[in-house]
Amino acid sequence: EAGVTQSPTHLIKTRGQQATLRCSPISGHTSVYWYQQALGLGLQFLLWYDEGEERNRGNFPPRFSGRQFPNYSSELNVNALELEDSALYLCASSLAHFSGVGDTQYFGPGTRLTVL
């Protein structure tokens, strides 16, 4: 079974540009999550999509946005890039939104975004 895939592996942009990162979840998973891991920091929650809708977002400015497509894949868009946006962006997927029993998120390899 294929895991979570992300593209591109690396992305280099300059300040003010826009970046688009893509994620394909594990087959059968409907929830997609985006995290940012900046240097020296833990994973910071960005966005959660389930069944095509944004369900929750972390403490990030509106220039971080995304969407989920009917096939449950997702893209993350970062507008007006700033130097501090340089980070590893990780996507994760899970079977369904949290039921209280506990659902595990499975991660992709990440996209390394560098803003020059």
Partner 1 sequence: DQQVKQNSPSLSVQEGRISILNCDYTNSMFDYFLWYKKYPAEGPTFLISISSIKDKNEDGRFTVFLNKSAKHLSLHIVPSQPGDSAVYFCAASKNTGNQFYFGTGTSLTVIP
**Binding site residues, partner 1, CB under 8 A:** 4, 6, 31, 33, 35, 40-45, 48, 50, 55-56, 58, 90, 92, 94, 97-98, 100-110
Q: How far apart are CA 10 and CA 18, in angstroms?
A: 14
Token duo for residue 36: 């940012």
Q: Which is nearer to partner 1, 18 or 54 (CB)?
A: 54
Q: How far apart are CA 105 and CA 108, in angstroms?
A: 10
Give the shortest CB-7-to-partner 1 separation in angstroms.
Answer: 13
Q: How far apart are CA 28 and CA 110, in angstroms?
A: 20
Give the shortest CB-112-to-partner 1 separation in angstroms.
Answer: 9
Give the shortest CB-35-to-partner 1 separation in angstroms.
Answer: 8
Q: Which is nearer to partner 1, 41 or 70 (CB)?
A: 41
Q: How far apart are CA 25 and CA 34, in angstroms?
A: 11
Give the shortest CB-9-to-partner 1 separation in angstroms.
Answer: 9
Is beta strand 64-68 parallel, antiparallel or unpaired with respect to 10-13? Answer: unpaired
